[in-house]
Amino acid sequence: MTIFATPFKVAACASLIALASSYASAQQSAPGASSTAPNNTGINQRDRSNTTTTPTDQPNDRADIKLAAAVRRAITKDKSLSTAAHNVKLVAASGVVTLRGPVANSAEKAKVEEIATAVAGVTRVDNQLDVKN
C-alpha cells in the first residue's frame, strides 16, 4: 500500500499548520495585553484588616437582608451605571450600608452612594468604593 500526497492534501495540511501557528501567536500577544500583572497589593492589604467590612459581615437578620436586597435592586435598576457599579459589594447592618469595590469614575461613585442613600430604611452610607484608574 502506497500513500500519495495529492496537491489537495499538501495544501490542506499547510493551511492547518499556518492557522494553528497564527492562533498560537494571537493567544500569546492579544491586543491591549499588558506584560505586567495588575497590582492589587494595596487593596489586598486593606482588605485583610479586621476592621474592614466585607460581604461576610452581612448580618443574617431579616431586616438587614431585605435592606441589602433593596439597595442592590436600586443600584442594578440604574442602567446608566457600569457593570462594575452594578456588582459592587454591599453590606447592610442596622440601616448602615457599606459600599465596596471598583467603579468607573468619581461621578459613578457619587451616583451609587446617592442611589443607596435614597432607599427607604438606609440611615447612613459608608462609601468605600474605589475609582478605577
Q: What is the pTM of this model?
A: 0.63
What is the model's pLDDT at position 5?
A: 59
**pLDDT-based confidence at residue 25 (cuts at 50, 70, 90):** low
- Alpha-carbon gap, residue 7 to 85, rounded angstroms: 57
**Most confident among 4-8, 35-39, 110-114 (mean pLDDT):** 110-114
- Residue 107: pLDDT above 60? yes
Report the candidate in 103, 102, 101, 99 with the shortest Cα–Cα distance to residue 124: 99
Note the pLDDT tens digit of each residue in 26-52: 555 455 555 555 555 555 555 555 567
What is the model's pLDDT at position 59?
A: 76
Q: Which CATH architecture has domain 53-131?
A: 2-Layer Sandwich (3.30)
Q: What percent of the chain has pLDDT over 70?
A: 58
Note the pLDDT tens digit of each residue in 62-95: 999 999 999 999 999 999 999 999 999 999 999 9
Give SS3 for 100: strand
- Residue 3: pLDDT above 80? no
Domain borders along the chain are 53-131
Count of CB atoms within 10 A of residue 99's CB?
23
